[in-house]
Amino acid sequence: MLKRHFMALASVAGLALGAGVAGAQDAPAPLDNPEDVTIALVRYLSTGDFFQAYLSGVETQAAALGVNLRVLDSRQDAALQADMVEQAIALGVDGIIIQHGLTESMREAAQRAVDAGIKVVAFDVNVENDAIPQIEQSDYLLGKLALEQAIKDNGDSFSAGYVYVPGIAPLDRRHVAWEEVKAANSGITEAARIGTLDNPIANANANQARAALQANPGISVFFAPYNEFAKGVKIAADELGVSTNMSIYSADISTADIALMREADSAWKATVATNPAVVGEVSVRALALMLVGEDPGASVIVPPTLITQSFLNDNNIRNMEDLGVKMPQFQHADVAMADWMPLPAR
C-alpha cells in the first residue's frame, strides 16, 4: 500500500475564508435547492467516541446545508465498504464522503464514483486519485507534537512501547513521525510494538499491551497515536499497577478521554487532536464546494492542538464543550468555507 506523508500544515488551495451564515437560497446551484441533493457517508471505522463525534459533525453540517444524508457503515469490512460505494452510486447520490478504509479496496471503487460524475472527498484514506480531495488532521503533525511532548516530559532516552496498525492512512502518516523521532534520538528504543483494529479496539489492544508491559517492565513511555489505542494501554497499565511508572502519549480526544486523562495517577499524559465534529463539518463543506463547481484544494487540513493532562487539570476541563471554551479552535475551523455557506448553529 502506498504510504504518503502530507507535509504538516500544507497550504489549502482555493478556499474562501471567513464565511458568513447566508441562507441556502443564496447558495449556487445545485445547493440553491438542497432538498434535491443527496450525499453519502461511506464509513470504514465507526467504533469509539472519535467516530461518533465525526458523524455528528457530518450530520450537523449536512442539516445546515439542507441536503439529504445517507450513512453507510461497513464496520471495518473492506470489501463491504467498496460495495457500499457501489450502492451509493446506484442510489444516484450527488456526492460521497469516504471515511477511512484501505487503499487497495477503495481505489477502484472511488474511481468508479468519479467516472459516474459523483463528487467525492476522502477523510483519512488515500485513494490515490487526483480528482478526490484528501480531508485530514495533519496526521504527521499529530504524531510529531505528541512525541515532542514525550521527550519534553521524559528526556531523549527511554524504552518505549508503540501501537501501530499499518495500511491505515492516518496511522501510516503518524508512523512517519515515530520513525523520524527514533532516528533523531538514539536513546529512544522501541521495546515492543503492538496493535490491532479488532473490536472492541480498546480491549483488544489492552490484551496486547498487558503482555508487552509484562515482558518489558522497563517501558516508561507508550506512544499510542489513536485514542482507542491509548485507552487500551491505560487499561493494561491500571490492571498491572504500573500507571505511576509510565506515560502514554496519543492522538485524538473525546469527553470520555478527558475523564480518563484526569483520573488520579493516570498514565495518559498528553494527546494531540482536532475536534472530530469539526473535521466532520469540514468534510461536508469541502464536498459542498465541489458540488457547486468550486475547488477545495487537493489537501484540506484541519490543524491539530496539543492537549496535556496538566492543562486539563489546571483549567478543570470536564468535556469537549469546556475544551472548546479554553481552546476556541475546537469549536470551529476556518477551512473549506465560502460566503454562501450556512454553518451549524453554535
Domains of the chain in sequence order: 35-137+276-303 (3.40.50.2300), 139-273 (3.40.50.2300)
DSSP, res 131? T
pLDDT at position 330 is: 79
d(CA 167, CA 33): 40
pLDDT on residue 23:
45
When the pLDDT of each residue in the chain is averaged and rounded to a whole number, the result is: 91
What HEC string does 227-285 produce? HHHHHHHHHHHHHHCCHHHCEEEEECCCHHHHHHHCCCCCCEEEEEECCHHHHHHHHHH
Residue 8 pLDDT > 50: no
- Model confidence band, residue 137 (pLDDT cutoffs 50, 70, 90): confident
What's the pLDDT score for residue 4?
Answer: 31
User: At 152, which helix (H) or strand (E)?
Assistant: helix 139-154
Average pLDDT over residues 74-99: 97
Average pLDDT over residues 30-54: 93
DSSP SS3 for 199: coil
Q: What angle do CA 159, 168, 308 make, to 5 degrees?
A: 50
Q: Which of 297, 282, 278, 234 is nearest to 260 (CA)?
A: 234
What does the alpha-carbon distance between residue 150 and residue 285 come to, in Å, rounded to a whole number? 35
Please measure the distance between the N-terminal and C-terminal CA atoms of the chain and give it in whole angstroms: 40
Question: What percent of the chain lies above the pLDDT cut of 70?
Answer: 92
Mean pLDDT of 77-85: 97
d(CA 267, CA 150): 12
pLDDT, residue 331, reads 82
pLDDT surpassing 90 at residue 16: no
pLDDT score, position 36: 98
pLDDT at 346: 67
- Report which of residues 76 and 20 the model is more confident about: 76
